[in-house]
A and B are shown apart, each in its own frame.
Chain A
C-alpha cells in the first residue's frame, strides 16, 4: 500500500516535471500544455500504452491530464465494443462526465461565491 503511494508520487511527479521542462524549453503556455497532455493521453491510451501505467501507478497516472485523455479514449473503445459505432460518440464523454460536470459546476459555484482579488 505504501509502495502504491510511492509509485503514484514518482510517476505523477515525473509527468509534472516533464511538463515543466516543456514549458521552460518551448515557451508553450499552460493552456497548450493541457491540450498536448490530454491529446497525448488519448493517443497513448488508444495504443494500449497507458493502461499498464495506470495499473502500475494508480492516481499517479489518472490524476494528471493524460489520465483524463485515457478515460475519454477507454470510454470510447468500451462503448464501441458494446453499442457499435454510436459508442464512438457517446463513450468518451460518458466516461469523463464526472470530471467535466464537476469542473463546470464547481467553477460556476466559485465564480458565484468569490470576487477576484486585484492583481498585485
Chain B
C-alpha cells in the first residue's frame, strides 16, 4: 500500500497527471478557436462576393467524406512545411536550391521552426501549437457547417422586420441574426463538443506527450527509457483513461442541458414560449 502511494507520486506520474491538464488545455483553446474559424467559414459561405462564398463552401465541404484522422496526420506535416517554406522565402531570398530534394525537405537554417538551437520546451510548445491549429481547422469546418445551418434556421420574418425598420445588411446580421442563431446552433455545437472530447486522444498521433502516451509509457513493463518493477499494467492505465472520458462526457451533458435552458430564454421557439408562459 505504501509502495503504491509512493509509486503513484513519482515524477513520471506527476507528468502523467499534468498531461490531463494538456488535454483540458487543448479543449479550452481549440473550442473557441474552432468556433471562430467556423463563424468565419459560415460568414464566408453566406457572402455576396462569389470567390469568398466558394471558399467558405469549399472549406465546409472539404472535411466531409474523408476520415478526420487523415486530416490530422496531413495538416501537422503540411502546416509545418508551409510555415518553414514561408519563412524560407522571407529570410533567405538568395537560396537557389529547390526546397524538395528527393525525399528531403530542405530550408535554410535560420528558417527552421523552431530553430534547432531552441530549448526543448519551445519544441514541445510548437508541437502543441500545431496540434491546436490542426484541431481548430478540422473542427472549424464542422462548426462552419453547423453555424451555416443555424443562420438559415432563424425565421425569415425576423430579418424582414429588421429590414423594415431600416437596418442595413450588416446591422441585421449582427443585431438580429447572430443573437438568435445560437439556440438553433446549440444541438449541433454540443454534438461537436462531444466529438471534440472524443478526438483528444488523437493528440498522441500528432506527437504530443498526452495521456495516451504516458499511459503506454507508465503501464508497460519495459519502455523506451525505463524499466518498471511491475507487470504489464497498461490495461489499468487505459481503464483510468476510459473513466476520465466517461466522466468528461457526463459533466458536459449536464452543462450543455443547462445551457440549452439558458439560451432558450426569450427565443421565438417552443422552449422559449414555454418559459415565457411559466414566468407569466
- Tell me whether A and B are bound partners: no
Report B's interface with A, CB cutoff 8 A: none
